[in-house]
A and B are shown apart, each in its own frame.
Chain A
Amino acid sequence: MRDRRLLCLGAAALVCIAAYMSIGLRGNLGFVLTLRATKLAALIQVSVSIAISTVIFQTVTNNRILTPAIMGLDALYLFGQMLLVFLFGGVGYAALDPQIKFGGEVLLLMGLATSLLLPMLRHRTDMGLMLLAGVIFGVFFRSLQSLLARLVDPNDFAVAQSMSFANFNNVRTDLLIFATILTAIAAVIAWRARHVLDIVALGADSAIGLGVTWTRTVTGLLLLVSALVAVSTALVGPIAFFGLLVVAAAERIVDSRRHAILVPAAALTAVIILVGGQTLFQHGLGNSSTLGVVIEFAGGLAFLILLFLGSRR
């Protein structure tokens, strides 16, 4: 039953991908197809990384309305990026090899995020407090980022500022190979951890009772989440509510919280929304730059609905 729903999701995702690649082909086929394939690869990676990071984050924090983005992780990533610009200067930063730069940013985020979140998880902070802390993290790191932005010279500022808005049209394809490897590794780890994730969802006490080494496992999972957030933020910029929307929808479609089903379902749902939406806006509705706005709007709505329904657990 659930497997069939998963198959349907898979089929729908394939249809979206086929539509994205084939609708409105014009001009030099080889060139257009390569261009589309590169962008498609980036969109799929963003979908997969946001879906997986959100599922894992919700499982670890034991609630359904927190996402890495709501906890300010993408703001943290942008802050780290700005910090690098500040330290190296705009010219130095721009001169760095993009792969190395990206690698450094990923490591920076993994370190910062884990050291901030781990103490909160260890003390089993309650949901309201986590949410509040997330909002504060977000604001704090965004203001730190703009403070740094004012300290660097205007040219440097432009370098960093150009990266801090979500944009599905202007995907950073130069990072694609590195990001692909990272996403693939993360996806494999997440898949292998699917049973452990089911146990982690029961909370620290039950998980320890069932033989999970809690702190080590949770630290590992948070590192994984940070790496995935870094991938998606680097590729398209910060997106706050997309992960929430995707996981809430997937959970209802497959009607399960078992990770063997939920993780692929969420990834497929994300691909359907992002690739399908991009196709729709590019060809049907004419203006593809609005996709980000629409997704944020729908995601925000989902956030409010979940909040009002009180489905916190």
Chain B
Amino acid sequence: MIQVENVSLKHRSTPILHDISLEIPKGGITALIGPNGAGKSSLLSLIARLQPLQVGKISIEGFPVDTTPNRDLAKIIAILRQDSIVTSRLRVRELVGFGRFPHGRGRLTAEDQAIIDQSLQQFDLTDLADRFIETLSGGQRQRALVAMAFAQGTDYLLLDEPLNNLDMYFARELMRSLRKIADGKGKTVVIVLHDINQAGFYADRIVAMKTGRVVADGAPSELLTPETLHAIFGFEMRVETIDGIPMVVHLR
């Protein structure tokens, strides 16, 4: 379980997060949605201890993120950032292999190799495995980064807009892979999405943020209503049900 208690964050004197409390139980997919600048990435980076906690408490499986040794946390939780920079002269296989670092401090066992191969295969990167990262397209690079986070093999996976740059096929593949590890292996996925329909279809729960606060929280069927969506995003949308799937029509 990820437990966020009364977390606030300021940058200099600008408040970014206001007194957020959130419990994410083990297992399942939680989608984090909300307008640009709502504080989704900030919340995720606090949970993943990428920036120091200012006010409040966060723990994962009971381990407080600010006092648990970083090595140990890296075996429980993996994060994919929204704007990961990648150094050059690094091959796809090497990058994905870095995901295994927390387990062997750089020494790759046969088991590690098997996991790396499987991650490469899962994101259709096997043919690109020996290419340099900087020669990949934006979507291919994004897939390599997601594969690295997968290879880390943690029970908790935080993904900040992993669908960026992905085409429809790979976006669907990624969401299905997440569904599979959540159902089959009991993994916990927290994912920031801007595509509300992806969130509605694949997530078990949607948490909506706006100006540093959680403004809505619930199952997709409860949350995807014209009123709630208007409150979050500030414009009119229609919600249609097609084949039992709630679809938000937001084009007009």
Residues of A whose CB lies within 8 Å of any CB of B are: 62, 194-196, 198-199, 201-206, 208-213, 251, 255-258, 311, 313
Contacts and interface: CB of A to CB of B under 8 A. Distances in A.
B89 interface: yes
A127 to B, nearest CB: 12
Interface in B75-132: 75, 78-79, 81, 84-90, 94, 98-99, 101-102, 105-107
Contacts of A213: 69-71
A210 B102 contact: yes
Given A205-B50, A210-B98, A258-B94, A195 B87 contact: no
A110 to B, nearest CB: 24
Contacts of A212: 70
B231 to A, nearest CB: 32
Contact of A251 (B75, B89, B98, B107): B89
A74 B88 CA distance: 28
Contacts of A205: 45, 50, 79, 81, 84
6 contacts: A196-B106, A198-B98, A198-B106, A203-B85, A257-B88, A258-B94
A212 B73 CA distance: 10
Contacts of A194: 106
B194 interface: no
B48 interface: yes
A257 B89 contact: yes
Given A195-B105, A199-B101, A209 B79 contact: yes
Contact of A256 (B45, B50, B89): B89
Interface SS of chain A: helix, strand, loop or mixed?
loop
Given A62-B87, A205-B50, A206-B84, A211 B45 contact: no
Contacts of A206: 81, 84, 98
Contact of A202 (B71, B86, B107): B86
Given A205-B81, A208-B70, A211-B75, A255 B89 contact: yes
A209 B88 CA distance: 19
Nearest to A311: B88
B87 A313 contact: yes
B188 interface: no
Interface of B is mostly: loop
Contacts, number: 72
Interface of B: 45, 48-50, 69-75, 78-79, 81, 84-90, 94, 98-99, 101-102, 105-107, 152
A201 B86 CA distance: 9
A199 B105 CA distance: 10
A210 B74 contact: yes
A257 B74 CA distance: 24
A284 B250 CA distance: 77
A212 B86 CA distance: 17
A261 to B, nearest CB: 11
Nearest to B80: A209
Nearest to A62: B87
A205 B44 CA distance: 12
A257 B98 CA distance: 13
A205 B50 CA distance: 6
Contacts of B152: 210
A208 B106 contact: no
B89 to A, nearest CB: 4
A208 B87 contact: no
Contacts of A257: 87-90
A213 B73 CA distance: 11
Given A195-B101, A256-B89, 9 more contacts: A201-B87, A203-B85, A205-B79, A205-B84, A209-B74, A209-B81, A210-B152, A211-B71, A311-B88
Contacts of B78: 209
A17 B47 CA distance: 54
A214 to B, nearest CB: 8
5 closest A-B pairs (Cβ-Cβ)?
Answer: A195-B106, A211-B74, A257-B89, A211-B102, A211-B71
Contacts of A251: 89
Nearest to B75: A211
Contacts of B94: 198, 258
A313 B48 CA distance: 25
A256 B75 CA distance: 27
A195 B107 contact: yes
Contacts of B79: 205, 209
Contacts of A256: 89
A117 B117 CA distance: 40
Contact of B98 (A62, A199, A208, A313): A199
Nearest to A210: B101
A195 B78 CA distance: 19
Nearest to A206: B84
Nearest to B95: A202
A209 B50 CA distance: 7
Nearest to A257: B89
